[in-house]
Homo-oligomer: A and B are copies of this chain.
Amino acid sequence: MAEGPALPPVVARMWGRDPVSRHGPRPSLSLEGITAAAIGIADAEGLAGVRMSSVARSMGVATMSLYRYVGSKEELLVAMADAAAPDPPEPEGTGWRDHLTVWTRAHRDFLLDRPWLLHITRFAPPMGPRSLLWLDRGLAALDGTGLGAGERMNVVSTLTGYAVSHAGLALGAGGPEPPGEEEAAGLAEYGAILTEVLDPETYPALAAAVGEDAFGDGDEWIDDGDFGFGLGLLLDGVEALIAARRTARS
C-alpha cells in the first residue's frame, strides 16, 4: 500500500489526514469547524454571505487564520459541498427500484434545502467522505441486479444528474435566489413573458405548448409529480436493462 498519488490537500483534510505536528501550539480550529461555520452562514444568508472575513468573524478569529486549514476560498467551498450532504437514506428491504426512488428524491430534497449547493460548481468528481457515501448507497441499491460495475456507475451518475437538474429547475422557478435578486418571477409570469415574446412562426412547438397552458397555474410544470414522472422514465429504462442482462445471462 504505497503512499499512492498525493491527495489534494483539502481532500486529505476532509478525510482527517491532518499532519500531526509536535511543535508549537495545538491548533485551535479544525476544518470541520470552519466548514460548519461557513455552512451556517450559507444557510442563513446565502453563498454571497460566505466571505473569508465573515467565516472567520463567526469563529472569533482573524481572517487569515483560516488559511492554515484551507488553501483558498475555493477549497473551502469544496469542503462545504461535501459536508453539507445529510446521511443518505438506508434501504428498507425493498427492491432496487424503490430504494433508488427514495435515494434520488432524498438527493433532490437536500439540494432544495440548501439552494446554495447548486451554486458551488463542482465538476470535479466527488471525493469527500459524504459525497462518496451517497454514491456508495446508490450503487448498493443495484447489488444483485446483474449489472456490471460500469453500468451501475452510469445509472447512479445519471440519477444524480437528474436530481441536480430538477432541483435547479425547481429553484429557478420559485425558490429563493442567492444573489438577492428580485426573484425572476413564478412560472405563471414566465408563461406570460413567453407569450409576449414568442413568434409562433419561429417557435411553433413552444408557442403551442404555451397555448396549451403547459405551465399555467405554476404547479403544472415543476412539481413533485413531475419529478416522479421523469424519474419513472429513467427507472423504466433501468428496469429494461436489467431484464435484458438477466435473459442474456440465463
> Which residues of A does B touch, CB under 8 Å?
4-5, 7-8, 11, 15, 74, 118-119, 121-125, 127, 132-133, 135-137, 139-140, 142-143, 148-155, 157-158, 160-162, 164-166, 168-169, 171-173, 177, 179, 184-185, 187, 189-190, 192-198, 202-209, 212-215, 220-222, 226, 229-230, 232-238, 240-241
Contact = CB atoms under 8 A, between A and B. Distances in A.
A136 B205 CA distance: 5
A135 B206 contact: yes
- The residue among A171, A172, A185, A197 with the most chain B CB atoms within 10 A of its own CB is A197
A12 to B, nearest CB: 9
Question: Nearest 6 A-B pairs (CB), nearest first?
Answer: A161-B165, A233-B237, A123-B172, A149-B212, A140-B205, A149-B214
Given A4-B193, A209-B149, A236-B237, A136 B203 contact: yes
Contacts of A125: 169, 172-173, 184, 187, 190
A17 to B, nearest CB: 8
Give how many copies assemble into the complex. 2
Nearest to A7: B193
The main secondary structure of chain A at its interface with chain B is helix
A153 B214 contact: yes
B7 A213 contact: no
- The residue among A7, A121, A212 with the most chain B CB atoms within 10 A of its own CB is A121
Contact of A204 (B136, B185, B195, B215): B136
Contacts of A137: 205
Contacts of A118: 121, 123
Nearest to A167: B123
Contacts of A161: 161-162, 164-166, 168-169
A136 B121 CA distance: 28
A220 B162 CA distance: 21
Contacts of A149: 208-209, 212-214
Nearest to A195: B4
A72 to B, nearest CB: 10
Contacts of A233: 155, 158, 234, 237-238, 240-241
Contacts of A151: 229
Given A196-B4, A205-B140, A221-B153, A165 B160 contact: yes
A152 B213 CA distance: 12
